[in-house]
Chains A and B, each alone.
Chain A
Amino acid sequence: AQSVAQPEDQVNVAEGNPLTVKCTYSVSGNPYLFWYVQYPNRGLQFLLKYITGDNLVKGSYGFEAEFNKSQTSFHLKKPSALVSDSALYFCAVRDKKTGGYQKVTFGTGTKLQVIP
């Protein structure tokens, strides 16, 4: 079974400060990891993914995420937060062993509030 935990329901950060949104995962094999963002009344938008290779993954809108296999974590980061980054962020995982079809398991989401 695969699962994702986002331990923080909400993260508040001042505009211009660095931000981190935490995520830990559990899979039986090796993971594919994703971050998606959801704005109010919208579907989810892809930010970035980790497949293999470099542990630091760069994505859209200046976001990046660091894969840490020993800690089974995939935290989302940005050096300088913008008010427009305020949204709901979802971490997701897919077990490489799934094959055949793309069952992606999402976390419960973290609301990011960037304060002007």
Chain B
Amino acid sequence: ETGVTQSPTHLIKTRGQQVTLRCSSQSGHNTVSWYQQALGQGPQFIFQYYREEENGRGNFPPRFSGLQFPNYSSELNVNALELDDSALYLCASSERPGQAVEKLFFGSGTQLSVL
């Protein structure tokens, strides 16, 4: 078990709505990454936050946004939900980004269904 916790575990929304997903990092970790895992696919990198700033982003539109707080917990916000946003959203924490090769500690994810 990792020390990364995500909430809620499941969520159902309708198209056009907005959603906020939450993540608490493992103790001592100041870097959080978010991934989207569609059914039958590998996780896709959304973005990474380090010390409350976004420092890397994957190929996701601006309606995917995030925050990191002083205690290093994080939120993922998705506006104007689309059906294709239905997926498992995974949060991963690590000790630090950059040149260091850090393993990722994943939470169990939030399963988002968009109807």
Task: List A residues at the B interface (Cβ < 8 Å).
Answer: 4, 32, 34, 36, 41-46, 49, 51, 90, 92, 94, 98-109
Contacts and interface: CB of A to CB of B under 8 A. Distances in A.
Interface of B is mostly: loop
Contacts of B31: 102
B103 A34 contact: yes
Given A92-B42, A100-B55, A103-B58, 8 more contacts: A41-B108, A43-B90, A44-B106, A90-B43, A99-B98, A101-B48, A103-B48, A104-B104
Contacts of A32: 101
Interface of B: 2, 4, 31, 33, 35, 40-45, 48, 50, 55-56, 58, 90, 92, 94, 97-99, 101-109
B25 to A, nearest CB: 13
A45 B106 CA distance: 7
Contact of B97 (A4, A51, A100): A100
